[in-house]
């Protein structure tokens, strides 16, 4: 029986305690009627939240995750096409828009209810509840390696299998034959006894009005023809021939460009600004002061200091003019902090072991060290690391009187849309976000500081603005992978067998299991001390695993 975690127990209690009528009300149902006008194009038929079928039997997989080079559009397209029994050569993929219907409910279910096997009758209610939670939290997140193992496993496979079953039912009804005589193959339905064969497109009108099952029957692994096989990635040809469109490729009528500068020390504020030289340069439109901002989201609190932006008729002009600004920033308590002083602080705090918190304490650690034939000590540290994505941070925003439109590459389109609406004091429905493929993200493009800046600049100058961060600004103003120090002591017996493992490191982040070791060591004492620093940190290819993997395996 699966282990029932505290959070799963609470969530299960909510589902069970909500009653039958509430449970039924939470079930996903058919979203096609409301969603189709927002998503459909000429010749396309939306038959499932994640599936469109064209009149020529081309199938489009609508992928609710951001493509930043990891191949997720192809991978999730494969998972959907496999269960749909589709012809992979006739499959297209497109990214889902920033709409609540594409909130990451499956990631929420994977996180909150990991390891819980619900009765089949409860699964639609569970999924419906998680859809509402994800929509409320503006979760359309690509990160945490969740796309394949959550959305792929818990959404795309279900979408493919349930749509296949709806097509089979529609064909059986149309041909007046038992549904168990209907089989599918490469985007076609077949009735073997009568040798009748039709493309899926024949039945799009019928299935669009059906309610897809959240508990369909999946294919047997032995019958897989697409998943587990090599297929070329769908995004590579466009990236090779230059037709792929990144947010940086956005061009709008009357669009201006902006470059931005923030205090080099977090928390610094603007004391004085001489922008006369910048404003005298040909092509410069304006110099805009951007207030300090703070956003609280599921990643924690994101703070951005005051900034100054130069707006011009080209990025080159904007960034060149930015260099002429004479800016004085306020003094902060962190002005004298350096990498060396941070490592000295880490070393002091690890040595003092004040308020040390245990992650794991097993066996007789002190006894093992006292009788050890050999003891090895080692200290490791890693620095703060910036993301430095190949594609620089950029966002294009057009703020109008009562609406706004955004072109960006980000890892949470719903969250970005909501935060821009908040800062512009607009209803969320008045903000349209176009998410683009990214030249890398790695967690940095889940933070919204740069799109907020672009929105405020556009509002100030009254025209569309494309904000591009310089490489210098990108490295100075990141949400870094944290610097960490980790101290080890290992005890060995006379046969060189490891009998005890002691590890103390600085600052606990995510995921909580990162410092734990998968080895059978009889006595273990693993824990951390708090040694706070002022430098902002964020997701960076898993946050803690990359540091602790290096520490423990070294």
CB-CB contact of 402 with 426 (8 Å):
yes
pLDDT of residue 415: 95
Residue with tokens 């890398």: 440
pTM: 0.90
Cα–Cα distances in Å, from 35 out to 39, 52, 98, 145, 166?
Answer: 6, 12, 12, 28, 19
CB-CB contact of 213 with 165 (8 Å):
yes
Instruction: Tell me which residue of 444, 432, 431 sits closest to 394, measured CA to CA.
Output: 444
The two three-digit tokens of residue 174, written as one number: 């149309």
Tens-digit pLDDT profile for residues 84-129: 999 999 999 999 999 999 988 776 666 666 656 777 766 676 676 7
pLDDT of residue 324: 99
- The domains spanning 31-104+140-237 and 353-385+480-553 adopt the same CATH topology: yes
pLDDT of residue 102: 93
pLDDT of residue 20: 36
CB-CB contact of 437 with 391 (8 Å):
no
pLDDT of residue 104: 85
The two three-digit tokens of residue 77, written as one number: 């397209």
Specify the 3-state DSSP secondary structure of 66. coil
Q: Which CATH class is domain 247-332+388-476?
A: alpha beta
Instruction: Tell me which residue of 309, 307, 263, 306 sits closest to 288, measured CA to CA.
Output: 309
E strand map for 365-413: 374-382, 394-399, 404-408
Q: Edge-to-edge strand order for the sheet containing 44-48? A: 44-48, 51-54, 59-63, 91-95
CB-CB contact of 147 with 72 (8 Å):
yes
pLDDT of residue 113: 62
DSSP secondary structure string for all residues of 473-541? HHHHT--BBPPEEEEEEEEE-TT--EEEEEEEEE---SSTTTT---S--SEEEEEEE----SS-B--ST
Estimate to the nearest angstrom the gap between the alpha carbon of 418 and the chain centroid: 15
CB-CB contact of 359 with 528 (8 Å):
yes
Centre a 10 Å sphere on the Cβ of residue 192 and count the other Cβ atoms it contains.
Answer: 10
Instruction: Tell me which residue of 487, 541, 462 sits closest to 509, measured CA to CA.
Output: 541
Contacts of 518 (CB under 8 A, 6+ apart): none
User: Strand 374-382 relative to strand 357-362: parallel, antiparallel, unpaired?
Assistant: unpaired
Domain definitions of the chain by residue range: 31-104+140-237, 247-332+388-476, 353-385+480-553
Secondary structure letter of residue 47 according to DSSP: E
Radius of gyration over every alpha carbon of the chain, rounded to an integer in angstroms = 27
Cα–Cα distances in Å, from 371 out to 57, 384, 487, 501, 522?
Answer: 73, 38, 21, 14, 14
pLDDT along the chain (554 residues), means of 10: 45 43 45 81 85 96 97 98 98 96 77 65 68 76 90 94 98 97 98 97 94 94 97 95 98 99 95 98 99 82 93 99 98 96 98 96 98 98 96 98 98 97 98 98 96 99 99 97 97 98 93 92 98 93 86 94
DSSP secondary structure string for all residues of 147-161? IIIIIIIIIIHHHHH
CB-CB contact of 516 with 528 (8 Å):
no
Q: Which CATH class is domain 31-104+140-237?
A: alpha beta
Contacts of 544 (CB under 8 A, 6+ apart): 484, 509, 510, 511, 514, 515
Helix (H) or strand (E) holding 320: helix 315-322
CB-CB contact of 403 with 430 (8 Å):
yes
Contacts of 538 (CB under 8 A, 6+ apart): 299, 443, 444, 446, 447, 478, 479, 480
Residue 511: asked if its preceding bond is cis (omega within 30°), the reply is: yes
pLDDT of residue 209: 87
- How far apart CA 396 and CA 251 sit, in angstroms, is 9
Contacts of 152 (CB under 8 A, 6+ apart): 75, 76, 79
Say if domain 353-385+480-553 classifies as CATH 3.20.20.70: no
Count of positions (residues) in the chain: 554
Cα–Cα distances in Å, from 119 out to 110, 150, 151, 489?
Answer: 16, 19, 20, 47
Could you tell me the sign of the dihedral formed by the alpha carbons of 510, 511, 512, 516, in that order?
A: negative
Backbone angles phi, psi at 190, to 5 degrees: -130, 140
- How far apart CA 507 and CA 388 sit, in angstroms, is 24
Q: How many degrees, rounded to 5, is the angle at CA 141 between CA 139 and CA 144? A: 130
Can you name the residues that pair with 295 across neighbouring β-strands?
302
Can you name the residues that pair with 484 across neighbouring β-strands?
382
């Amino acid at each position: 029986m699966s282990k029932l975690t505290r959070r799963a127990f609470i969530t299960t209690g909510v589902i069970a305690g909500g009653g039958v009528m509430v449970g039924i009300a939470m079930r996903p149902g058919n979203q096609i009627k409301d969603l189709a006008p927002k998503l459909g194009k000429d010749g396309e038929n939306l038959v499932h939240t994640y599936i469109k079928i064209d009149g020529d039997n081309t199938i489009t997989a609508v992928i609710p995750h951001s493509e930043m080079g990891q191949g997720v559009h192809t991978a999730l397209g494969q998972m959907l096409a496999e269960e749909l029994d589709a012809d992979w050569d006739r499959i297209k993929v497109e990214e889902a828009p920033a709409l609540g219907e594409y909130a990451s409910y499956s990631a929420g279910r994977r996180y909150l209810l990991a390891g819980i096997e619900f009765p089949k009758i409860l699964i639609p209610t569970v999924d419906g509840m998680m859809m509402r939670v994800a929509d409320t939290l503006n979760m359309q997140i690509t990160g945490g390696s969740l796309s394949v193992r959550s959305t792929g496993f818990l959404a795309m496979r279900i979408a493919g299998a349930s749509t296949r079953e709806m097509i089979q039912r529609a064909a059986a009804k149309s041909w007046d034959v038992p549904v168990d005589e209907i089989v599918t193959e490469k985007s076609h339905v077949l009735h073997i006894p009568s040798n009748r064969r039709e493309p899926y497109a024949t039945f799009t009108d019928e299935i669009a009005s059906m309610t897809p099952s959240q508990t369909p029957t999946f294919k047997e692994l032995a019958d897989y023809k697409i998943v587990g096989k090599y297929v070329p990635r769908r995004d590579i040809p466009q990236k090779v021939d230059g037709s792929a469109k990144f947010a940086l490729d956005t061009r709008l009528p009357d669009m201006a460009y902006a470059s931005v500068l923030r205090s080099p020390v977090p928390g610094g504020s603007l004391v004085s600004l001489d922008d006369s030289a910048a404003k005298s340069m040909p092509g410069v439109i304006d110099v805009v002061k951007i207030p300090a901002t703070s956003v609280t989201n599921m990643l924690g609190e994101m703070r951005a200091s005051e900034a100054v932006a130069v707006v011009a008729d080209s990025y080159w002009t904007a960034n060149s003019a930015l260099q002429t600004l004479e800016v004085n920033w306020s003094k902060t308590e962190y002005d004298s902090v350096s990498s060396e002083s941070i490592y000295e602080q880490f070393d002091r705090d690890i040595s003092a072991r004040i308020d040390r918190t245990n992650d794991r304490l097993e066996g007789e650690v002190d006894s093992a060290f006292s009788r050890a034939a050999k003891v090895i000590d080692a200290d490791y540290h890693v620095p703060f690391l910036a993301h430095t994505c190949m594609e620089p941070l950029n966002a294009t925003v057009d703020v109008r009187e009562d609406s706004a439109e955004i072109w960006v590459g980000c890892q949470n389109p719903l969250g970005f849309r909501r935060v821009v609406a908040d800062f512009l004091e607009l209803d969320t429905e008045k903000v349209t976000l176009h998410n683009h493929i990214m030249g890398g993200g790695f967690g940095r493009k889940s933070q919204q500081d740069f799109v907020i800046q672009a929105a405020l600049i556009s509002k100030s100058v009254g025209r569309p603005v494309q904000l591009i961060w310089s490489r210098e600004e990108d490295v100075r103003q990141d949400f870094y992978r944290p610097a960490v120090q980790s101290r080890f002591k290992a005890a060995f017996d006379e046969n060189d067998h490891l009998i005890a493992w002691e590890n103390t490191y600085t600052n606990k982040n995510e995921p909580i299991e990162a410092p734990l070791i998968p080895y059978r060591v009889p006595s273990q004492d693993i824990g951390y001390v708090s040694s706070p620093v002022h430098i902002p940190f964020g997701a960076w290819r898993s946050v803690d695993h990359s540091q602790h993997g290096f520490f423990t395996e070294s």
